[in-house]
């Protein structure tokens, strides 16, 4: 079994004390003194340690080894805001599949409305990403970026997911540089949005014959991109 992972502000060879939700998570995992665990700062620094003491409200870990995990190429997902709890699902899946940055996007056909609630919604996405990162043992936590309400910014090569695309993402060489993936909302993208992003240098691509939900399409693209990256290193 892979050792459980907990996030901390600073990773060093010292005793780490965790309380609150983290201590409760240790109780759910039924951790015992002497078991091996991991701690991370969410930025690639990883500590290996042993549970020194555990109670329902407190977890103490003695970190005895620290290492640095190489950061993978940046994958930014511009996520059209899904309705209701599908937003949480999108963030969970994007985190588990290794995305680097999540940009919530209030596009023209977005049904969900974050106006007046932006900070609350961003904080929720950050909490969801943190929990998903612990579950999937991610040494890098995705950065949840501020809400985008216009044309999104791209890093590296940009791909707009669209069901009517002539080109599949699966046919694109993804061996170099950072990548941006744009996922529209449930209502889809307008022709004007697609044209504007193409004018900014993006390619319109599909994901095979499947028509995926906005909450799962970005994660499917990220799995392919990370897999391509791993094969290129092999």
* Structural domain count, the chain: 2
Range of the domain at 166: 75-233
Q: Which CATH number does the domain housing residue 41 bear?
A: 2.40.240.20
Q: How much is the pLDDT for 234?
A: 66
Are residues 203 and 105 part of one domain? yes
Task: Give the DSSP letter of residue 176.
Answer: S
Q: Of 22, 37, 68, which marks where a domain is finished?
A: 68
Same domain, 64 and 152: no
Residue 39, pLDDT score: 96
What is the structure's pLDDT at 57?
A: 87
Q: How would DSSP label each residue in 23-34?
A: HHHHHHTT--TT
**What pLDDT is stored for residue 1 in this prediction?**
62
What is the predicted pLDDT for the residue at 28? 77
Please write down the long-range contacts of 28-37, taking CB distance under 8 Å and 24 or more positions apart.
Answer: 29/4, 31/4, 31/59, 35/3, 36/3, 37/3, 37/4, 37/5, 37/6, 37/61
Q: What is the pLDDT along the chain (234 residues), one digit of tens a residue?
A: 689 999 999 999 999 999 888 888 877 788 899 999 999 999 999 999 999 998 888 999 999 999 999 999 999 999 999 988 999 999 999 999 999 999 999 999 998 889 889 999 999 999 999 999 999 999 999 999 999 999 999 999 999 999 989 999 999 988 777 999 999 999 899 999 999 999 999 999 999 887 889 999 999 999 999 988 877 776
Asked if 146 and 201 sit in the same domain, the reply is yes
Q: Give yes or no: residues 46 and 81 share one domain.
A: no
Strand order of the β-sheet with 179-183 is: 143-144, 101-105, 75-80, 179-183, 157-161, 203-206, 167-168
């Amino acid at each position: 079994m892979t050792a459980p992972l907990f996030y901390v502000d600073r990773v060093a060879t010292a005793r780490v004390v965790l309380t609150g939700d983290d201590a409760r998570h240790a109780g759910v995992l039924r951790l015992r003194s002497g078991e091996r665990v991991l701690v991370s700062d969410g930025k690639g620094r990883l500590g290996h340690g042993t549970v020194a003491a555990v109670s329902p409200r407190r977890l103490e870990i003695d970190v005895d080894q620290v290492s640095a995990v190489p950061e993978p190429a940046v994958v930014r997902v511009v996520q059209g805001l899904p309705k209701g709890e599908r937003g949480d699902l999108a963030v969970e899946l994007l985190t588990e599949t290794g995305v680097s940055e999540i940009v919530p996007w209030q596009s023209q056909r977005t049904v969900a409305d974050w106006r007046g609630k932006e900070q609350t919604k961003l904080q929720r996405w950050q909490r969801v990403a943190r929990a998903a990162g612990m579950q999937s043992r991610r040494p890098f936590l995705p950065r949840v970026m501020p809400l985008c309400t216009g044309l999104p910014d791209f890093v590296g090569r940009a791909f707009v997911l669209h069901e009517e695309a002539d080109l599949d993402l699966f046919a694109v060489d993804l061996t170099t540089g950072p990548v941006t993936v744009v996922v529209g909302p449930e209502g889809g993208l307008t022709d004007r949005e697609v044209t504007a992003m193409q004018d900014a240098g993006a390619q319109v691509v599909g994901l095979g014959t499947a028509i995926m939900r906005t909450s799962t399409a970005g994660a499917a693209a990220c799995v392919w991109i990370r897999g391509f990256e791993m094969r290129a290193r092999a």
